[in-house]
């Protein structure tokens, strides 16, 4: 049985997952490099009599295998709910690797070696570990001194150079700018009522979704030109203000502030992807249970507080998603990117690839003037991106397909339904012929009006470039 396990894996599970005391000898065998004495000295373990030790903190392995290669680390955080023996977690609890952590990891476009990166709301330091893979210079902040301490321990355990500072949002880095800003914010919408616990790891102490608003508006000032900020957030979808209007208003506020601060020299690109939209009642239930197991009366009181809070503001749903901001020099040919996408129906892979391809596609369309004049695409010679395939569905015995889809197999399986003409155009995109030449040939082949066909195809070509399925010459 696990409760009696003495093999290294079983001992580590008993220590750090179940919170059980184990023989010091067994702990030493499970931690041969660190050793019991050093683990006790670091505060990871404590002696508890009868030759046994108990975990003071959670120490979990964390690994990733992706296009950057293989990496593995140890993450130090507070003991989890199971090790606590049930009940409600302390409000200063510091999480280890959670679902939100891995969601953000999948979205962050990797920095380049030597770039300066900031991890806001670092918690136990998970995002900083992933950022460290490409060799940037790292700064991490958190409003919680306890979380800052855990981030320092996590970095030290893994040999990562990390400048950890304590402060809310950007308070600890006044006037500083970075090439990358990532933030796993304490974004949970929580009722501001004294009897509802405010967990530091998930609650910023602000009303509604104001922490996301503040992050979006304040982040551009801390980006270098060309820099990216990426963070997770919740936002309210209200009866009198849909989420696109609400978040869109914040976007324009942030863009206006940046334009004023730089006298129009820099602009802000914004891409918001809504991944989930939760019913208020289900949202409340999820976050009440997230903090442990409160008593029935306590849970019912918190539940009523959540629903009353939502009702006061007319909240019909709560959105969750990824916000990507980019600060760059203004260019008349490349208007600022504004995308607020609802992608709940899509099962994503690595969102970082999707976002990076979209930003690159936007730039390349601007470079050839196609963002302001679709006809500029006629002289381009796009090529089909690697990994994009065509799938056809035919009725048995029929020569013509019922449907044609272009599928990007590299990332999240992006599927675009294509007309016969668009499929023909994409099939000819090998860099030899211009779009104008292909459209002319298709018009003759399909016995279609060339001007009408051009009007139908050019918007589709622009969208395929913007999504990264077609690549323009010079586009990465």
The Cα–Cα gap between 173 and 168 comes to 10
CA dist 59 and 77 (Å) reads 7
DSSP for 173-193, written as a single string: STT--EEEEEE---B------
Residue 206 β-bridge partners: none
Q: Strand runs (DSSP E) across 56-205, as ranges? A: 58-66, 69-77, 116-120, 137-142, 162-166, 178-183
> Based on the domain organization, do 67 and 50 belong to the same domain?
no
The answer to whether residue 362 is domain-embedded is no
Report pLDDT for 79.
87
CA 277, CA 342: separation in Å to the nearest integer? 9
Both 295 and 386 in one domain: the answer is no
Of 192, 218, 467, the residue nearest 356 (C-alpha): 467
Burial class (CB in 10 A: 0-12, 13-18, 19+), 1: exposed
- Asked if 207 contacts 96 with a C-beta cutoff of 8 angstroms, the reply is no
107 and 241, same domain (yes or no): yes
Same domain, 247 and 290: yes
Pair of tokens at residue 202:
């998930």
User: Is 367 within the bounds of a domain?
Assistant: no
Domain count within the chain: 3
Chain centroid to CA 178: how far? 18
The single residue listed with the structure tokens 């065998």 is 29
Last residue of a domain, one of 37, 56, 75: 56
pLDDT of 349: 58
Residues 341, 225 share a domain: yes
Contacts (Cβ under 8 Å, ≥6 apart) of 22: 11, 14, 15, 52, 53, 54
Going from the first residue of the chain to its last (476 residues), give the mean pLDDT of each consecutive group of 10, the final group possibly shorter.
Answer: 70 86 92 89 87 91 90 91 69 90 93 97 97 97 96 94 97 97 95 88 91 97 97 96 97 97 97 95 90 79 94 96 97 95 69 89 95 95 90 84 84 79 93 95 94 96 93 73
Same domain, 265 and 396: no
Could you list the residue range(s) of the whole structural domain that residue 51 is in? 2-56
For 137, phi and psi rounded to 5 degrees? -95, 130
Alpha carbons 189 and 248: distance in angstroms, whole number: 19
pTM here is 0.91
**394, two tokens:** 């035919």
Q: Which pLDDT score is estimated for 18? A: 84
DSSP label at 240?
Answer: T
Please report the DSSP string for 246-305 in residue order: HHHHHHHHHHHHHHHHTTTSEEEEEEEEEEEEE-HHHHHHHHHHHTB---HHHHHHHHHH
Q: Is 40 part of any domain?
A: yes
Q: 47 with 182, same domain?
A: no
Residue whose structure tokens are 């940046």:
258
Beta bridge partner(s), residue 319 = 235, 277
Q: Which of 315, 349, 383 is the C-terminal boundary of a domain?
A: 349
Domain assignment of residue 358, yes or no: no
User: Per residue in 35-73, is it b (16+ CB within 10 Å) or e — as a string?
Assistant: ebeebbeeebbeeeeeebbbbebbbbebebebeeeeeeb
**Is residue 213 included in any domain, yes or no?**
yes
Angular region, 384: left φ>0, alpha ψ -120 to 50, beta rest? beta
Shared domain for 112 and 184, answered yes or no, is: yes
Shared-domain flag, residues 38 and 120: no
Which pLDDT score is estimated for 42?
Answer: 80
Tell me whether residue 109 is in a domain: yes
Backbone angles phi, psi at 124, to 5 degrees: -80, 0
Tokens representing 391 are 């799938």
**β 137-142/22-23 pair status:** unpaired
Indicate whether 239 and 338 sit together in one domain.
Answer: yes
CATH number (domain holding residue 453): 3.90.930
Cβ atoms of residues 227 and 359 within 8 Å: no
Please identify, among 56, 76, 98, the residue that sits at the C-terminal boundary of a domain: 56
Q: Which residue has the tokens 């990358």?
A: 180
Q: Decide if 46 is inside a domain.
A: yes
- What the block records as the tokens of 11 is 């001992």
Assess if residue 364 is contained within a domain.
no
User: Residue 80 is part of a domain; what is its CATH number?
Assistant: 3.40.50.150
Tell whether 177 and 271 lie within a shared domain.
yes
Same domain, 253 and 116: yes
Q: What angle do CA 45, 49, 52 make, to 5 degrees?
A: 50
């Amino acid at each position: 049985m696990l409760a009696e396990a003495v093999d290294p894996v079983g001992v580590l599970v008993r220590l750090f997952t179940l919170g059980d005391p184990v023989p010091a000898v067994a702990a030493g065998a499970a931690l041969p490099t660190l050793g019991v004495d050093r683990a006790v000295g670091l505060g990871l373990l404590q002696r508890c009599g009868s030759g046994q030790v108990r975990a003071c903190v959670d120490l979990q392995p964390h690994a990733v295998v992706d296009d950057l290669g293989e990496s593995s680390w140890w993450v130090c955080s507070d003991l989890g709910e199971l090790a606590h023996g049930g009940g409600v977690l302390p409000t200063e609890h510091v999480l280890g690797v959670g679902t939100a952590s891995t969601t953000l990891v999948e979205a962050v476009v990797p920095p380049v070696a030597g770039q300066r990166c900031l991890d806001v709301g670092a918690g136990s330091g998970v995002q900083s570990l992933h950022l460290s893979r490409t060799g940037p210079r790292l700064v991490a902040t958190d409003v919680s001194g306890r979380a800052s301490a855990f981030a320092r321990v996590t970095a030290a355990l893994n040999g990562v150079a990390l400048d950890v500072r304590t402060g809310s949002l950007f308070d600890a880095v006044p006037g500083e700018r970075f090439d990358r800003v990532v933030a796993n914010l304490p974004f949970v919408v929580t009722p501001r009522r004294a009897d509802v616990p405010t967990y530091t790891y998930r609650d910023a102490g602000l009303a509604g979704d104001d922490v996301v608003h503040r992050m979006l508006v304040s982040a551009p000032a801390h980006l270098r030109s060309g820099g990216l900020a990426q963070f997770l957030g919740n936002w309210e979808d209200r009866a009198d203000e849909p989420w696109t209007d609400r978040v869109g208003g914040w976007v324009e506020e942030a863009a206006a502030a940046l334009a004023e601060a730089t006298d129009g020299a820099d602009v802000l690109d914004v891409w918001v992807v809504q991944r989930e939209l939760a019913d208020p009642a289900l949202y409340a239930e999820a976050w009440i249970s997230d903090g442990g197991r409160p008593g029935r009366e306590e849970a019912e009181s918190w539940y009523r507080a959540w629903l009353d809070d939502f009702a006061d503001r007319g909240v019909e749903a709560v959105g969750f998603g990824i916000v990507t901001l980019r600060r760059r020099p203004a260019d008349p040919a490349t208007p600022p990117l504004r995308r607020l996408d609802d992608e709940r129906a899509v099962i994503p892979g690595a969102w970082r690839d999707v976002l990076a391809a979209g930003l690159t596609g936007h730039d390349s369309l601007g470079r050839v003037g196609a963002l302001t004049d679709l006809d500029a695409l006629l002289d381009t010679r796009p090529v089909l991106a690697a990994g994009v395939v065509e799938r056809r569905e035919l009725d048995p015995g029929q020569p013509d397909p019922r449907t044609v889809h272009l599928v990007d197999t590299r990332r999240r399986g992006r599927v675009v339904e294509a007309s016969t003409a668009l499929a023909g155009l994409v099939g000819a995109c090998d860099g030899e012929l211009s779009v104008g030449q292909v459209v002319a040939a298709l018009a003759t082949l399909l016995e279609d009006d060339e001007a009408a066909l051009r009007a139908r195809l050019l918007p589709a070509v622009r969208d395929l470039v913007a999504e990264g399925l077609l690549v323009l010459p010079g586009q990465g």
